[in-house]
Amino acid sequence: MPDLLVLEEVKHQKDSYVVFLSLVMMIKRKVFWLTVFLTLVGLIVYYFHSEDKLTSNILIDNIVIYKSKRQLLVYSDGQLLKTYKISLGRQPVGSKEFEGDKKTPEGVYFINDKSLNSRYHKNLGISYPDQDDINNANQLGKSAGGNIKIHGLRNKMGFVGKFHRWFDWTLGCIAVTNEEIDELYKATTIGTRIEIKP
């Protein structure tokens, strides 16, 4: 008889343990799906959250880029108009030394071109390389390269939107969203000063 009581107690403990494990697994599943749901909601809010637009009929006369902060700041008559979040070349640290190093240049340049027709949704050309850049590359026995732009996303990839900011993905250019390059393109003239800082 005592053996039966012991067996029943053991069975009861096993059943309690199984119930406890089932509860733990159910809670884990609920926490997992809640986390997935909240992550998706967060990503959707991030993607669709509208950002301040640049004031219409304004003319940008100075652009400053802080590579380490991934920021592009635009000014008119010394007044900050807007700060954009950017992506850089795949090797973001250090100034561009030669063609193919995937670095974004550093220094003072100017906007020397505007194009609606490229592999990317609109672009503003940057006057890299200057003579110092050419001399530095020549000392390395290489070409300085060129074709550095502020541009939107690759054609037919505009749906990526703000998610492009999560990575440095260009070959040395400065990337913004398509909506942002539309603003910059409209408000920037050839000859506008641009300073790219580390």
Percent of the chain with pLDDT over 90: 66
> Exposed e or buried b for every residue in 11-31, given b needs 16+ CB within 10 A?
eeeeeeeeeeeeeeeeeeeee
The pTM of this model reads 0.80
Helix (H, G, I), strand (E, B) or coil at 125: strand
Percent of the chain with pLDDT over 70: 90
More reliable by pLDDT, 103 or 55: 103
Angle at 57 between CA 55 and CA 60, to 5 degrees: 75
List, for residues 25-55, the tens digit of each pLDDT value.
888 888 888 888 888 878 777 777 778 888 8
Quick one: average pLDDT of 178-184?
A: 96
How many CB atoms sit inside 10 A of residue 87's CB?
A: 21
